Structure 1
Amino acid sequence: MKRNLWRSTAGMLAVGLLLNTTAAGAFAEEGPVGIGEAFAATRCEARQATQQAQMLDAWHLDRLHMEDVWQLATGEGVTVAVIDTGVSTAGSLYFGNRVEAYDFVGISEDERNKQAKVDCMHGTFVTSLLAAGRRDDGGAVHSLTNFAGIAPGVKVLAYRALANSTVEAKEGEQPPPPASLIPVVHSIDAAIEAEVDIINLSLVVQSDAPDFDDFENAVYRAQERGIIIVAAAGNNTDNIGALFPASFPGVITVGMSTDAEAAHPMSYAWSPVTVGAPGAQVVGLAPSMPDREATTANQAFHQDTGTSFAAPIVSGVIALMLEYDAKLGRERATPEQIIARLKATADPPPATAPDPQLGWGIVNPMRALMDTRPAPMASEAAEFTPPPAPPPEPEPVDARMPALGLGVAVGSVLVVGIGLVAAIAIPAATRRPGP
């Protein structure tokens, strides 16, 4: 069945998210504000704090050796635009004042009248994987989890361009058609105006989505300004062809890996994947209760699977790369150079590169910062070394030359022989016998 947007499945948040532009303005505590203006985190539907009886392991941080990487960079001085469902930072100790939220979707009159909360789950989870902070001493914020964002010092501009975290179809019915992509277009233009360094797009659409051409042009405008764009490859339910923005040229497309160092079977294999990153059952944050004190006891956590969540991990790694390069006084890398560096420094896939689901391999933050390549692998098809050239054939030799040489040698021997005979015979003939 053909779909324009992906539907969420159990335990997995959708990569493709419902777009909604039916409202005229966002609603904050102080009253309605205009489209594109500040969005209050208190408007997000919250979750109760996670009751943890044991350690909640953010396995992807250990897999990527982030404790070592954070000694070199945390993303400070880099700005990332997260274009998603919006983000809730209220009631959380993980974000500080590093997140600014804006709404390009708005709230309907009915929602406004009912003081309804909006769905910020997907955007909060994505933003946390990218940018959730640590304590001032570098330790984990919560005593029962090692969780933090990949770039805990980065600044985030969170644009609410998607209305819902999931696209659900009623039983026996087709999934609802996507609404306009115009909120996403406006968000990209706002990110360009804000001169962000990176745009994270954890969403997918097909080319027949409404306002697709405007969306494509907005992506190209951002690329022309040197902004690095990172996109989710998509979650695999059917082979339905090209997905976007993953398939736009110059976009860094991210597949997802598991804790077993393999591609997750849900990672879409029909997008041109650049690299993979952990995306299976990763730990992150959910919107916390905004009316409660920001304490670890009130923090809501979430664990989920999807390429939506692998993408912000790569966005975070790129933020670390940009900060580290600036520290070393390197010239700012172009998006093309960042792509080449991510490919060259990734942990190669188990078979051949590029792998349909993991591209050139699983992102390696330390090598990406240091710009060092992994040890070559016999199976790494991307690093093809041609066999040595065969030795040159000997030049043809004139067959007459050896014969001529032999004749000269024989003649020389004869001349020498005649000379010896003459030297002996002639003196003997001239001698006279005595009387």
Structure 2
Amino acid sequence: MRRARSSRRPVRHAVAVTLLAVVPLATRAAPAAADPAADSVELPSIPSVVAPGEPCTPASKVTARQEPWTRQALGLKRAWTLADGGGVTVGVVDTGVTTAVPALGDRVTAVGAAGEDCAGHGSFAAGLIAAAPVEGVGMAGVAPAARVLAVRGTDERGAPTARLLADGIRAAVDGGAKVVYVGRVVPDGKEVLTAAVEYARQRDALVVAPYAPDALPRDRATGRTVRPAPWYWPSAVPGVLTVMDHGPDGTRPKNAPPPAGADLAAPGDAVVSVGPAGVGHFIGSGSSFAAANVAGAAALVRSRHPRMTAAQVARQLVAAAYPAVPPRVDPYAALTAVLPGERAAPPGAPPVTIPPEASSEPRRRALWIAGAGGALALLVAGAAVVIPRGRARGWRPAGHEPERGTTG
């Protein structure tokens, strides 16, 4: 996708948000905007890491009944008329995904201990990708029929390392994932993560990752926030589809610096999803959740266009996105757009057969007959003019008129 990136990646702190905004259906012509009069519910925030000695994230006791703004902003009802992610496996490389999440049903397969999720971040992201719609519940994933392959990319408490993320990418690809969502990025590990992304590319798997961490860690000695790194991996690896977050109004907070190097933007602020247990919901903010929405959109495209390569799917998502900086993902447009240079036919369409080139002999014969007829017509027209004049002059050449008083 990219060969060079900006020298710095600005990062903002994650903000704990407790209001679930309900917004009108977004259109292609304008971004969705929050409805200030809409109903809201209070939801607990999903953590990224569980501190040592702290208990694992408990089940939420609150259920979101209204449709979250993300579902409408992404135009999922229209997109679902064309594809639902069926037949596609999405690898979730994160804190794990609990196999007992009701909204994911029996569509979760875990590698090793990834079926347990202490922090809940991976289960939350998996819900954004593939949670099925439930009557009376507003929350649903982008690709509700996709399968989820849970792979640990962190330790048990949610702390990532470059080695764990790289091993997770490889394990997801080996498990059959055609879309690999990486929920964390780290400031080191260039070589090992570049090799893991190349492993995925060679096996036609699309890697989707946040462009930067959701929040910067604090220095244990000073308590101050660590300065952002110039690069984050694997998002800095060419070929990775990197995503930044935006809020209900389509923009980021005014005090947030512009992103550097993101391919797409997607809903990521005040997003709602499932937790590691139960039927309740959580709320979260950050580019990792925006990347989960894009991973779901990639699953939709791969479901509808199974012959597209991973690189073509990435191009489809970026080129068909809503024009902005960076472009905002539009799943329905990505499912329907036919880009220049692409010759994809709609699913189920009969093959196009080009007939053999017709013989040129009839055409030559027709032209010869037309030419002969035209010549004959010219001769007849000329005779109609010449013969009367010749008779009038007694067939004398022009300029030899008889003298007066004589006869011919």
Question: What TM-score comes out, normalization by structure 2 length?
Answer: 0.64
Hey, what's the Cα distance between the residues in 1 that align with 2:205 and 2:255? 29
Return the match for 1:79 from 89, 101, 111. Answer: 89
Hey, what's the Cα distance between the residues in 2 that align with 1:245 and 1:267? 22
Matched, 1:316 2:316: no
> Contact 1:202–1:231 (CA<8 Å) still a contact in 2?
yes
Matched, 1:344 2:319: yes
Map of 1:158 onto structure 2: 150
Map of 1:59 onto structure 2: 69
The amino acid of 2:75's aligned partner reads: H
- Give CA deviations for 1:178-206 in whole Å, capped at 9, x if unaligned: 6x433322222222222320100121111
Q: CA deviation at 1:163?
A: 2.4
Return the match for 1:362 from 297, 305, 328. Answer: 328
Matched, 1:220 2:198: yes
The amino acid of 2:246's aligned partner reads: S
> Contact 1:13–1:306 (CA<8 Å) still a contact in 2?
no
When residues 18 and 206 of structure 1 are mapped into structure 2, their CA distance, relative to the original with a 3 A threshold, is farther
The worse-fitting range, judged by mean Cα deviation, of 275-284 and 257-266 is 257-266
Map of 2:267 onto structure 1: 278
Hey, what's the Cα distance between the residues in 2 that align with 1:10 and 1:185? 29
Q: Which runs of 5+ in 1 are unaligned?
A: 21-43, 107-116, 135-140, 168-177, 290-298, 327-331, 350-354, 374-435
Q: CA deviation at 1:18?
A: 9.1
Return the match for 1:287 from 273, 276, 279. Answer: 276
- Give CA deviations for 1:56-105 in whole Å, capped at 9, x if unaligned: 43111111111111111100000110000001132x42111110112368
When residues 246 and 72 of structure 1 are mapped into structure 2, their CA distance, relative to the original with a 3 A threshold, is same
Map of 1:301 onto structure 2: 281
Hey, what's the Cα distance between the residues in 2 that align with 1:60 and 1:10? 17
Q: CA deviation at 1:219?
A: 1.5
The amino acid of 1:215's aligned partner reads: L
When residues 51 and 202 of structure 1 are mapped into structure 2, their CA distance, relative to the original with a 3 A threshold, is closer
Hey, what's the Cα distance between the residues in 2 that align with 1:150 and 1:157? 16
Taking the TM superposition and a 5 Å limit, the aligned residue runs for 1:159-238 are 159-163=151-155, 180-207=161-188, 209=189, 212-234=190-212, 235=214, 238=227
- Give CA deviations for 1:257-306 in whole Å, capped at 9, x if unaligned: 111022356877454111110011011001225xxxxxxxxx12101111
When residues 244 and 18 of structure 1 are mapped into structure 2, their CA distance, relative to the original with a 3 A threshold, is farther
Return the match for 1:99 from 69, 85, 108. Answer: 108
When residues 270 and 277 of structure 1 are mapped into structure 2, their CA distance, relative to the original with a 3 A threshold, is closer
Hey, what's the Cα distance between the residues in 2 that align with 1:58 and 1:131? 15
> Contact 2:169–2:182 (CA<8 Å) still a contact in 1?
no
Hey, what's the Cα distance between the residues in 1 that align with 2:255 and 2:155? 24
When residues 265 and 275 of structure 1 are mapped into structure 2, their CA distance, relative to the original with a 3 A threshold, is farther
Q: CA RMSD in A?
A: 3.3
The amino acid of 2:282's aligned partner reads: H
- Give CA deviations for 1:338-397 in whole Å, capped at 9, x if unaligned: 222222211111xxxxx2xxx2x1101111000158xxxxxxxxxxxxxxxxxxxxxxxx
Map of 1:47 onto structure 2: 58
When residues 343 and 8 of structure 1 are mapped into structure 2, their CA distance, relative to the original with a 3 A threshold, is closer
When residues 153 and 118 of structure 1 are mapped into structure 2, their CA distance, relative to the original with a 3 A threshold, is closer
Query: What is the number of equivalent residue pairs in this alignment?
Result: 291
Map of 1:412 onto structure 2: none
When residues 333 and 263 of structure 1 are mapped into structure 2, their CA distance, relative to the original with a 3 A threshold, is farther
Map of 2:367 onto structure 1: none
The amino acid of 2:96's aligned partner reads: G
> Contact 2:208–2:295 (CA<8 Å) still a contact in 1?
yes
> Contact 1:242–1:270 (CA<8 Å) still a contact in 2?
no
Hey, what's the Cα distance between the residues in 2 that align with 1:348 and 1:223? 27
SS of the residue 1:94 aligns to: helix
Map of 2:233 onto structure 1: 244
When residues 337 and 118 of structure 1 are mapped into structure 2, their CA distance, relative to the original with a 3 A threshold, is closer
The amino acid of 1:124's aligned partner reads: S
Hey, what's the Cα distance between the residues in 1 that align with 2:158 and 2:263? 26
Q: CA deviation at 1:129?
A: 0.2
> Contact 1:255–1:268 (CA<8 Å) still a contact in 2?
no
Return the match for 2:337 from 338, 350, 371. Answer: 371
Hey, what's the Cα distance between the residues in 2 that align with 1:245 and 1:14? 22
When residues 18 and 215 of structure 1 are mapped into structure 2, their CA distance, relative to the original with a 3 A threshold, is farther
Hey, what's the Cα distance between the residues in 1 that align with 2:254 and 2:156? 25
When residues 276 and 264 of structure 1 are mapped into structure 2, their CA distance, relative to the original with a 3 A threshold, is farther
Q: Which runs of 5+ in 2 are unaligned?
A: 1-7, 18-44, 217-226, 340-408
Q: CA deviation at 1:7?
A: 7.8
Hey, what's the Cα distance between the residues in 2 that align with 1:6 and 1:166? 20
SS of the residue 2:103 aligns to: coil
Question: What TM-score comes out, normalization by structure 1 length?
Answer: 0.60
